[in-house]
Amino acid sequence: MSDTLTLDVIGRRVEVNGEHATVRFAGVVPPVAGPWLGVEWDNPERGKHDGSHEGTVYFKCRHPTGGSFIRPKKVNFGIDFLTAVKNRYVLEDELEEDGKEQIVTIGNKPVETIGFDSIMKQQSENKLKFPSGSAPLTGTFSALKVLVLNRTGITWAEVLRCAAECPGLEELYLESNEIFISERPTDVLQTIKLLDLSSNQLIDENQLFLIAHLPRLEQLILSDIGISSIHFPDAGIGCKTSMFPSLRYLVVNDNQISQWSFFNELDKLPSLRALSCLRNPLTKDDKDTQTTRQLIIAKIGQLKTLNKCEILPEERWGAELDYRRAFGNEWKKAGGHQDLDKNRLSEEFLMAHPRYQFLCLKYGAPEDGELKRQPLMLKNQLLTLKIKYPHQLDQKVLEKQLPGSMTIQKVKGLLSRLLKVPVSDLLLSYESPEKPGREIELENDLKSLQFYSVENGDCLLVRW
Partner 1 sequence: MRECLSIHIGQAGIQIGDACWELYCLEHGIQPDGVVLDSHQNQLENAKTEHTNASFDTFFREIRAGKHVPRALFVDLEPTVIDGIRTGERRSLFHPEQLLSRKEDAASNYARGRYSVGSEVIDLVLERTRKLAKQCGELQGFLIFRSFGGGTGSGFTSLLMERLTGEYSKKTKLEFSVYPAPRVSTAVVEPYNSVLTIHSTTEHADCTFMVDNEAVYDICHHRLGVERPSYASINRLMVQAVSSITAPLRFEGPLNVDLIEFQTNLVPYPRIHFPITTFAPIVSADKAYHERFSVSDITTACFESSNQLVKCDPRLGKYMACCLLYRGDVVPREANAAIAAMKARQSVQFVDWCPTGFKVGFNNRPPTVMPGGDLAKAHQALCMLSNTTAIVEAWARLDHKFDLMYAKRAFLHWYIREGMEEAEFLEAREDLAALERDYEEAGQSF
By the rule CB under 8 A, 89 interacts with partner 1: yes
- Of 12-20, 182-190, 209-217, 307-315, the segment contacting partner 1 by CB under 8 A is 307-315
Residue 26: CB atoms within 10 Å: 20
Question: What's the min distance (Å) between Cβ of 289 and partner 1?
Answer: 8
Our CB check for partner 1 shows the closer of 155 and 276 to be 276
Strands (E), 264-375: 274-276, 305-306, 309-310
Residues binding partner 1: number (CB under 8 A): 31
Identified binder of partner 1 from the candidate list 124, 142, 401, 456, rule CB under 8 A:
124
- Rounded to whole angstroms, the Cα distance separating 189 from 275 reads 23
When the beta carbons of 129 and 332 are compared against partner 1, the nearer one is 129
Distance CA 310, CA 263 (A): 18
Candidate residues 310, 341, 394, 434; the one interacting with partner 1 per rule CB under 8 A: 310
DSSP for 51-118, please give it: SEETTEE----SSTT-EEEE-GGG-B----HHHHHHHHHS-GGG---BTTB-EEEETTEEEE-STT--
In degrees to the nearest 10, what's the CA dihedral of 220, 223, 224, 228? 70
Q: Does 29 bind partner 1 (CB under 8 A)?
A: no
Whether cis (ω within 30° of 0) applies to the bond prior to 433 is no
According to the binding rule CB under 8 A, does residue 244 interact with partner 1? no
Q: Is 150 in the site for partner 1 (CB under 8 A)?
A: yes
**Of positions 126, 246, 329, 429, contacts partner 1 by CB under 8 A:** 126
Strand runs labelled E in 113-186: 146-148, 171-173
Is residue 182 a contact residue for partner 1 (CB under 8 A)?
A: no
| Phi-psi group of 219: left, alpha or beta (phi > 0 → left; psi -120 to 50 → alpha; rest → beta) | beta
Residue 40 binds to partner 1 (criterion: CB under 8 A):
no
Return the residue of 106, 235, 237, 350 that touches partner 1, per CB under 8 A: 106
Q: Rule CB under 8 A: which of 206-235 touch partner 1?
A: 221, 223
Residue 26 in contact with residue 87, Cβ under 8 Å? no
In whole angstroms, the minimum distance from the beta carbon of 167 to partner 1 comes to 21
Q: What's the min distance (Å) between Cβ of 293 and partner 1?
A: 7
C-alpha closest to that of 178 among 157, 205, 199: 199
Instruction: State which residue, 76 or 307, has the beta carbon closest to partner 1.
Output: 307
Shortest reach from residue 89's CB to partner 1, in Å: 7
Are 211 and 181 spatial neighbours (Cβ–Cβ below 8 Å)? yes
258 touching partner 1, by CB under 8 A: no
Tell me: does residue 293 bind partner 1 (CB under 8 A).
yes
Q: What is the contact surface with partner 1 in residues (CB under 8 A)?
A: 88-89, 91, 106-108, 122, 124-126, 148, 150, 173, 175-176, 196, 198-199, 221, 223, 251, 253, 276, 278, 289, 293, 306-310
